[in-house]
Amino acid sequence: MDAAEFHASVYETIRRIPYGRVTSYGHIAKLVGMPRHSRFVGQALKLLPASEDLEEEDRIPWQRVIGSNGSIALKGENKLRQRRALEAEGVEVLEGRGLDGLRVDLKTYGWFPDE
């Protein structure tokens, strides 16, 4: 499996995350069959074009992927985009973890199927 195939698998898997739910980088890696590649999942998302430039059906719901501990570790512009996108679909984003950290309650919004 090369990088392109891996990215494609990651995007497909992310599309399966239900509206209003979230999962983690590590779980996505597990679902595509490469459990130790959580960091590579992040790299795949980094390459995505801005959602604003895409039609609804072409968008990848990347905002539904957060850290395994429920934290949002992004910085600057992307952090704001992720927060807005999540709140827009009804996910509660809480302040915490330092001065500018954000987090989501995985007990409530987490989605971690086995498959």
Binding site for DNA (CB under 7 A): 3, 24-27, 36-43, 45-46, 48, 62, 65, 67-69, 73-74, 78, 82, 96-98
For residue 25, give the DSSP letter.
Answer: H
At its nearest, how many Å lie between DNA and the CB of residue 57?
Answer: 19
Structure tokens at 43: 């790299």
For residue 22, give the DSSP letter.
Answer: B
Is 21 or 37 the residue whose CB approaches DNA more closely?
37
At its nearest, how many Å lie between DNA and the CB of residue 42?
Answer: 3
Interacting residues of 67 by C-beta distance below 8 A, sequence separation 6+: 24, 25, 73
Is 90 or 95 the residue whose CB approaches DNA more closely?
95
Let me know: does 14 contact 62? Beta carbons within 8 Å: yes
At its nearest, how many Å lie between DNA and the CB of residue 3?
Answer: 4
Is 3 or 90 the residue whose CB approaches DNA more closely?
3
At its nearest, how many Å lie between DNA and the CB of residue 37?
Answer: 6
Is 62 or 109 the residue whose CB approaches DNA more closely?
62
Scanning the chain, the segments in alpha helix (DSSP H) are 3-15, 25-31, 38-46, 76-88, 106-109
